[in-house]
Every structure is written in structure tokens, then in C-alpha cells.
Structure 1
Amino acid sequence: MSDPFLIAEGMTGGYGAADILHNCTLSVEPGEIAVIVGPNGAGKSTAMKAVFGMLKLREGHVRLGGKDITALSPQARVAEGMAFVPQTSNVFPTMTVEENLEMGAFLRRDDIRGTMEQVYALFPVLKDKRRQAAGELSGGQRQQVAVGRALMTQPRLLMLDEPTAGVSPIVMDELFDRIIEVARSGISILMVEQNARQALEIADHGYVLVQGANRYTDTGAALLADPEVRRTFLGG
């Protein structure tokens, strides 16, 4: 059995002396959507930061495409094909939409116009507003800019921390539709999401974290059907 495309195995670590993650394991296959859910304070965003190299692990390792990247900086992980969209402060508000997208291609030395057209095809409203400052956009549109900028790196793994935070249900559904499209293009998706039920509906795999450890791991459909998961984490 070969490793999954992303395997973050046995992650233990935190900030200072206290560990937040306890032997946490996450994996994603190519073109799959993996969703991390759980109560507030469960370590979901910390797990994402650990995968991206923003948190030093005391134990465990991260491999991407069979390569051990545990010791790499976040910048080096971007060069390996990771892209991370944080929950907040994820656009340059005084720059235009197009300038934000161009910033996403900072590591590239090839022609980026084709990728930009792909982003505009995925999020047509961004093409209409490409000359507008990102800070003037609605919350949902700013999230589209943030995801679009990450896609400009041509990632193999796209990591999203609470992509639907603070947006309306209609915008949430639209963002999830776009995330499905991205996965269908072959890009792996790993995301943390507070809207657990809706996220598990689109997930190939789901991870329920509690106090920094894996409590349940299964397909999205199986977790939605699990009476204990529904009662404890999905409101019945």
C-alpha cells in the first residue's frame, strides 16, 4: 500500500510547553475533499497550521507526494505544491482583485495568464471586479479572491481554514460548489469547516477532532449517518 498523496501522521505539538495536537493524523488522496470538523477549541486550525509548517511538531511527520516535508518552512511547502488560505486577513485589501491574483503567482516564472483565466472562469464575479480594491468587496467575494490567489500558485493541495465563515447560506453553497469543481480538476482539498453537516455532505473523507486528537475518521457519508456523530457534533 502506498501512502496517500498527503499524509500528516502522528502530529503532536502546540505553542510553548502545552501540546494542542495529540497523535493527530490526516490524509488526502489526489482530487479528494477531506474535511476537519469538531467543537470549538478542538485543534482544527492548529492541525492545518501544522500541516503547512506554521507549527513545529514535537512528534509526527508530514509527507506530500511521497516526499517528507516535515522540516520545510511554509514558503518551501508552497514551492512543493501546497497552498493555504487562512480564515482572516487573507486578501491585500488596498490592492485590486487582479493584483491580489498576481501576488499568488509570486513564485512562478512562466506565463500566468492562463491560470488567471481559469480563476476568472471559476469565479466570474472576480473578472467583473478585477480593477476594484479587494477591501471593497463583500465577504463572500473576498473569500473568492483568497481562494483564487491560492490557485494561482498551481497547487497540488489546497488548504482552506473556515472558507465559509461569516457568509450567507447562499454564498456558502456557491463556495462549496466551486470547491467541488477545484477537486474535480485533480487538486486535493483539506479544509476546516464550522458548518460541519454541509461540509461532510461534499467530503470524501471526514475527520472529527476532539481536544487535538482523532475521535472519528470515515467517509463524509458514513460520518453523517453515524448516530453518535450526529448527536454529539451535528445537532442531532
Structure 2
Amino acid sequence: MSGSNNAPFLIGEHMTGGYGKSGPDILHDCTIAVDPGEIAVIVGPNGAGKSTAMKAVFGMLDLRKGMVRLDGEDITRLSPQERVAKGMGFVPQTSNIFTSMTVEENLEMGAFIRRDDFSDTMAQVYDLFPILKDKRRQPAGELSGGQRQQVAVGRALMTQPKVLMLDEPTAGVSPIVMDELFDRIIEVARTGLPVLMVEQNARQALEIADKAYVLVQGANAHTGTGKDLLADENVRKSFLGG
């Protein structure tokens, strides 16, 4: 059963919750969604719950209220592993590659849930990230930060996900590398895959966002297209330094 035309492809709706059964709520009635071919970004100040919102969508958080739906199906009760099997590709911010394995072995590890021939997918990943093809025999730990992030994204793509979720993909990389990663992320979205990402570099993220969510203290503060939010005086003053 597929979602009806007015329901987003992936939505975490009215999410309230925190870590553990008794931890305090970090998210408060928070909603984030993304559709095929779109880049949706979650931005906001430090400690706003951006990564927590993403983790809630991925099932790493106990929701007290709200639900998560993927392609019309309620997946709120599923574990992260079960969500991967349903088509979620999640790239955490840290520990997202096997440093002692080669680039190609990392990509093969990404295909662990597949029982079919994944050579076509690997060719697509190498088309998207030519540098990985060049370095496919190198241990991933020898790569630069930006190249490691490409390995991590490529590994998630090997599962042929229905949605790609990236937690701060440009953390700790230079502005040039950030632009390069964003270009690759745009290419991924152009293949029709929905991309949901948490990003510290708010201004740059809003420039490529079809849909954007500004979170403050775990709640939705502003929602709109990236362009709308870049043009919004309140957003500019509060979050983009004027």
C-alpha cells in the first residue's frame, strides 16, 4: 500500500519523546517529512534536537506521542534494523565506515541485506563518487574526511534505500569539501531518492533545500522551502547571523 497523494513519503509526525523510558522529552510535537526527489534539511541552534529528530525517525528514540510513516505504512514500533529492511538508509555522524577495510569492502558491507547481484548498484555509486572508484582498493581509514563521508553515503546507497538520511554529513570538513558533498547529495536526490539531512551549516544547507525545518528546543520553529527561510528576516536574524 502506497501513501496517498497528500501524505509525505516519509514523515515523523507530532513526535514527542526522549532517550530511554524515563529520560526527559527532547522532542516536543516535532514534525519532519520528505518526498521523493527532495532534499529536506533540519537546521537550528546547537542542542535544538536536530539529530534527535532524525534518530527518532530512524527508531533510536522512545516516542511518547506521534508516529513515523514510510510510504504510507506505520513503522513507529519497528526497530532501526527493521526500518533498514523497509528501506531506510541512515548515515550516522561518526563511526560510519570500517576504517581497516578497503573502500570496496565497505560498499560490499553496505549490501549485506541483499541477496541479489549488487554490481549494478556499485557501478552507480562509483558513477556518483568517482574518487571512490579511484581509491577502491585503499583502506577507508587512509581517506580524507570528505572522502570517508562519500564512502559512508555510498555504503547506505548499496542497500538501495527508499530514503536516505544523513546526520551532519559535512561535520568537520572544509568549505570546499562541503560544497562537493552537497553537489553529490543533490545528484542523489535527482535520482528520485528522498534525502533527509541534519546540517550545522545552516545557510548552505538552506540553499540546496527543497524543504527545511528550523528546530528550537526540540520543536518546529519555522518550516518552508530553503529559499523562503533564507529570505525570512526572523530566521536570518536568529539562526544565520543577520
Identify the TM-score tier after normalising by the shorter chain: over 0.9
Structure 2 CA distance for aligned equivalents of residues 117 and 30 of structure 1: 22
Do structure 1's residue 14 and structure 2's residue 18 form an aligned pair? yes
Q: State the shift of 1:17 in Å.
A: 2.6
* Matched ranges for 1:34-73 at <5 A: 34-73=40-79
**Selected match of 2:170 from 140, 164, 169:** 164
Aligned to 2:130: 124
Structure 2 CA distance for aligned equivalents of residues 17 and 50 of structure 1: 14
Aligned to 1:217: 223
Cα deviation digits, residues 136-158 of structure 1 (max 9, x gap): 11100100000000000101110
Do structure 1's residue 135 and structure 2's residue 141 form an aligned pair? yes
Aligned to 2:154: 148
Alignment partner of 2:26: what SS?
strand
- Residue 119 of structure 2 aligns with an amino acid whose one-letter code is R
Do structure 1's residue 3 and structure 2's residue 13 form an aligned pair? no
Structure 2 CA distance for aligned equivalents of residues 137 and 120 of structure 1: 16
Unaligned runs of 5+ in 2: none
- Residue 38 of structure 2 aligns with an amino acid whose one-letter code is E
Structure 1 CA distance for aligned equivalents of residues 118 and 34 of structure 2: 27
Alignment partner of 1:4: what SS?
coil
Percent of residue pairs bearing the same amino acid type = 79
Structure 1 CA distance for aligned equivalents of residues 153 and 93 of structure 2: 11
Aligned-pair RMSD on alpha carbons?
0.7
Moved more, 9-18 or 224-233: 9-18
Structure 1 CA distance for aligned equivalents of residues 117 and 62 of structure 2: 35
Aligned to 2:182: 176
Q: State the shift of 1:181 in Å.
A: 0.5
Alignment partner of 2:48: what SS?
coil
Alignment partner of 2:63: what SS?
coil
- Residue 235 of structure 1 aligns with an amino acid whose one-letter code is G
- Residue 176 of structure 2 aligns with an amino acid whose one-letter code is I
Aligned to 1:101: 107
- Residue 118 of structure 2 aligns with an amino acid whose one-letter code is I
Structure 1 CA distance for aligned equivalents of residues 172 and 129 of structure 2: 19
For this pair of structures, how many residues does the alignment match? 236
Cα deviation digits, residues 38-94 of structure 1 (max 9, x gap): 000000000010000011111100000000000111111111111100111110011
Cα deviation digits, residues 176-214 of structure 1 (max 9, x gap): 001000001010000000000000000001000000000
Alignment partner of 2:220: what SS?
strand
Q: State the shift of 1:126 in Å.
A: 0.5
Q: State the shift of 1:7 in Å.
A: 1.3
Alignment partner of 2:25: what SS?
strand
Unaligned runs of 5+ in 1: none
Structure 2 CA distance for aligned equivalents of residues 31 and 76 of structure 1: 23
Q: State the shift of 1:159 in Å.
A: 0.3
Structure 1 CA distance for aligned equivalents of residues 173 and 11 of structure 2: 30
**Selected match of 2:211 from 205, 209, 212:** 205
Structure 1 CA distance for aligned equivalents of residues 84 and 178 of structure 2: 26
Structure 1 CA distance for aligned equivalents of residues 45 and 241 of structure 2: 11
